[in-house]
Chains A and B, each alone.
Chain A
Amino acid sequence: MNAKNGDAKLEALAKHLGASAADRLDVDAVARRVLAELRQAPVRRRTWIEVHWLRIAAAMVILVGGGLLVQQMIPDTDVPGQHGNHLVADDLGDLTTDQLRDVLDRFDEMVGGTTPLLDSSSDLRGLDEEQLQNVLRSIGGII
């Protein structure tokens, strides 16, 4: 068969394909079933608000997830002593002047042998409560 005849023959055959299935189709019945199905599970049309809320929620998920990821990736940047300072500052407020002196004395005993954190000439007895607290805070910063 030559090319043109071949093409025409193919197209004629193709046009005939499925003709019987189409003829047998009960179009009204199909329409009824389609409508019945659509009534059972109607198309849920998303409103403008819904669409935007979905976008906002998606953005939040990305932000929170990204934040957590970054937090996990960046190593702990806590400077040694900062955490201790915070605790010292919290605890010092509850101590009396005598208790503060006592803490300093004990601390000096503990570390004084190797690392003289407090000047030996310093007279803790002459310091008031606030000054003692400042000394202790500064020690917290050192260690």
Chain B
Amino acid sequence: MAHPELRTETVDDTGLIAAWQAGDEQAAAELVARHARALARYLAGAGAPDAEVDDLVQETFIRAFRGVGRFRGQCQFRTWLLTIGGNVLKDYGRRAGRRKVLPLDESVQDVTGDPHEHAVATEAEARLSAGLHVLPRLQREVFLLRAQQGLDYEEIAGALGTTPGAARVHYHHAVKRLKEIVG
């Protein structure tokens, strides 16, 4: 396949989905280009091993495109995609038979700046990663959708099939627990 030429931002996700359903492969490539990195961040944050992120992103998109007929616009396409990613990760965890703690990636480290500050940040990030793994899945997903992806409760509730109030409660439970862990 040739290097995909990205479309202008004027075509929204819904338009791209419709175009892809009509047989336009380029529209699918554009959707991947728009959302793959956010999905990768979400998966890695939710505990996907670094070496598996590419494959899990790929699997998530394939599953999403195959089931796109079920997307009713109850939330943004990206949010829906992230929830599918959560299911893909869960299935991966079952297959792997274990849950891996996201290893701290050396490349994350900012080599500039104060080494001490950097070490403290790195340690806190590692603790957050570990803390996310001990949270119930719903709390972890709500926390990541809210804190990492910046979504509002309404959007989160639409994606997870719950109410904004319930999403808010899950978020606060998650924050409370993570504060204890991160310190």
Give residues in A with beta carbon < 8 Å to B: 1, 6-7, 9-11, 13-38, 43, 45
Contacts and interface: CB of A to CB of B under 8 A. Distances in A.
Instruction: Decide if the interface of chain A is mainly helix, strand, loop or mixed.
Output: helix
Give 4 nearest A-B pairs by CB, closest first: A18-B44, A14-B147, A18-B41, A21-B44
A122 B94 CA distance: 89
B28 interface: yes
B148 A18 contact: yes
Given A18-B45, A21-B41, A30 B107 contact: no
B11 interface: no
Interface stretch (B73-81, B151-159, B162-170, B175-183): B175-183
Given A20-B107, A20-B108, A10 B182 contact: yes
A22 B40 CA distance: 5
Interface residues of B, number: 50
B105 A37 contact: no
A17 B128 CA distance: 9
B143 A38 contact: no
A35 B44 contact: no
Contact of B124 (A9, A18, A21): A9
Contacts of A43: 65-66, 68
Interface in B1-44: 1, 3-4, 21, 25, 28-29, 32-33, 36-38, 40-44
A30 B54 contact: yes
A34 B28 contact: yes
A35 B25 contact: yes
A33 B58 CA distance: 7
A20 B105 contact: yes
B134 interface: no
Given A10-B128, A14-B144, 20 more contacts: A1-B183, A10-B178, A13-B121, A13-B124, A16-B108, A16-B125, A17-B41, A17-B125, A19-B41, A21-B44, A25-B40, A31-B28, A34-B61, A34-B62, A35-B25, A37-B58, A37-B62, A43-B68, A45-B21, A45-B69
A21 B28 contact: no
25 contacts: A1-B179, A6-B175, A10-B128, A10-B179, A10-B182, A13-B121, A16-B121, A17-B41, A17-B45, A18-B53, A20-B108, A21-B40, A21-B44, A22-B37, A24-B53, A24-B107, A25-B53, A30-B36, A32-B1, A33-B58, A34-B65, A35-B28, A35-B29, A37-B58, A38-B65
A19 B28 contact: no
